[in-house]
Amino acid sequence: MKNAIRISCSRANLKTVRDFVSDYLAVYHLSELHVNQIVLAVDEVVANLIIHANAENETQFLQLKLAMEDHMFGIEIEDDSKESYQPSSFREPDLLEHIRLGKKGGVGMALVNRIMDRVEFSSSGNHNVCRLYKKVI
């Protein structure tokens, strides 16, 4: 089973990522809810990295690695973005204020943090790594 892919930073590759994660999880016979939640969280993070960190520059790439160990699903997403995108500085939005103002964005990472058990971002120079973990039974 393939557990790693490399994609260019194009929104067109989001379907490839969703299919890759879904296909990987299929062999573990998880509930449809767990699979959909994980796929949604991964899709949100990858979309943010493609759009915000890499400005949809197709000469930039993301590397995704999946693992399942002791009922813990993990994904590692790496890039070499030179942008100042810093998801680790994320603050939980005031959802009522978002609704009141009619804002359409800015809640994706809140959703990811609610779905996944652990979300980690680290950087060293231009090399960035995002790790997502979800306990699945």
For every one of its 137 residues, what pLDDT tens digit does the chain have, with 9 covering 90 and above?
579 999 999 999 999 999 999 999 999 999 999 999 999 999 999 999 999 999 999 999 999 999 999 999 999 999 998 775 555 555 665 666 656 666 666 668 889 999 999 999 998 888 999 999 999 97
Q: According to the model, what pLDDT value does residue 20 have?
A: 98
DSSP symbols for 20-88: HHHHHHHTTT--HHHHHHHHHHHHHHHHHIIIIISTT-TTSEEEEEEEEETTEEEEEEEE---S---GG
The pLDDT value given to residue 125: 86
- What is the domain count for the chain? 1
Could you list the residue range(s) of the whole structural domain that residue 57 is in? 4-135
Residue 71 sits in a domain of what CATH number? Answer: 3.30.565.10
